[in-house]
Amino acid sequence: MSIENSMNPALPRGMRGDAMLEPDAVMSMVRLHKSGWGAKRIAKEFKCARNTVRRYLREGGTIAYKGRPRASALDGLDEWLRERFFRHEGNADVIRQELESEHGIAISLRQVERRVREWRRELKAQKRATVRYETAPGHQMQIDFGDTRVWIGGERVRIHVFVATLGYSRRLHIRASQRQRQTDWFEGMEGAFLRFGGVPAEVLIDNAKALVEHHDAVTREVRFNARLHAFARYWGFRPRACAPYRARTKGKDERGVGYVKKNAIAGRRFETWAAFEAHLDRWTREVADQREHGTTGVAPAERFAAEAGALRPLSGRAAFGQLRDLVRKVQADCAIDLDTNSYSVPWRLIGESAQVVVLAGRVIIRHAGQVVADHALNRGRRQRIVDRSHFVGIAGVEGPVRLAPIEIAPAALLRPLAEYEAVVGGGW
């Protein structure tokens, strides 16, 4: 039989001795063993130790290299690394910097990236995951702007579309504009309040620069624009910003903007801007409000019947743009100055700062939250508007000066001066 002859007359150099054998040589050993060769004979044939042959035969083939685990400077920091990885949204360079500053470990960016690689898939899934939740009637309205181009008068014009969506009924309000300024946001919201006949408890907004000055992605600390604060107080709702880079948490309105672009606008042409606005209004009433909503299964107009009563009444308020909210100091003549005119204030408030609200033809003056004077707005110039009751107690005015101690509420009860200045667009 030829089996007695060497099956490997010329072995490669890597197969000789006790070094790690090539996979083909190991499989040859296994085949020879199955054909009746003993370990001693196989070891002689392959020029290796008998124990090496026995080890390969025992494993039934090649043996994975089991080297000693290499020590790493990051050993024992897995929990810390995972927490920082998700806190910094996968930014390995920030983690590298904090490793050096907090643990004194100076390693390369590549080493950190290799160590946190196993969590990247989880972070990606976490960013995409969205928990659907339903809001109670009248609780929330979501707002957003979307950009698109529309054919108007034979010209393709870039427009901004404001879309407000009630969270419960999914009823829409749409307003088109050629800009996206803060006033456009306010006018869009006021238009929605008028359309819906009331104000929701909360308005969820994106992190638009016109409304949000700062929103920390880690601590979730939000600093709204001062004028937005004044607008929200005027209408009586609470502003809320969705998480940075997580506009899908405002999903009802994100989908609403896309719905308006693809259904109400796409492929249509309009002779004038007025015709375009009339089309949006008609489309909202006849299509958007009447469709069967994909999530609720009910037409928004029908579902709105259960939400209308939960909205806060408008109470006949004028538009916020007609409101002026100022701060003035009460002068020694017992009056505050406004547009070259002076309006009297109770003499006890001389030297104090007072809130002055100009609205609907009235000048309303407050101190420490209380109305202390209410005058008709004078359209003239350099006029003095006086309420004689504000001077009672001063010598020469219906009796002697009162000597009783004067109690004036601390100025801390007033809102910050910077807030009032922001309302009117600058210092006074």
Q: How confident is the model at residue 349 (pLDDT cuts 50, 70, 90)?
A: very high
Q: What one-letter code names the amino acid at 10?
A: A
Spatial CA neighbour of 265 closest among 252, 279, 275: 279
Give the sign of the dihedral formed by CA 130, CA 133, CA 137, CA 140.
negative
**Which pLDDT tens digit goes with each residue over 74-94?**
888 888 998 888 888 888 888
Write down the pTM of the prediction: 0.50
- Give the model's pLDDT for residue 65: 56
pLDDT at 253 over 90: no
Q: Give the start-to-end residue ranges of the domains of the chain.
A: 2-59, 78-128, 140-310, 323-423
Task: Kindly report the CATH number that applies to the domain delimited by 140-310.
Answer: 3.30.420.10
- In degrees and rounded to multiples of 5, residue 214 shows phi and psi of -155, 140
Dist. CA 248–CA 250, nearest whole Å: 5
Query: Percent of the chain at pLDDT above 70?
Result: 80
CATH architecture of 2-59: Orthogonal Bundle (1.10)
Spatial CA neighbour of 274 closest among 135, 153, 420, 370: 153
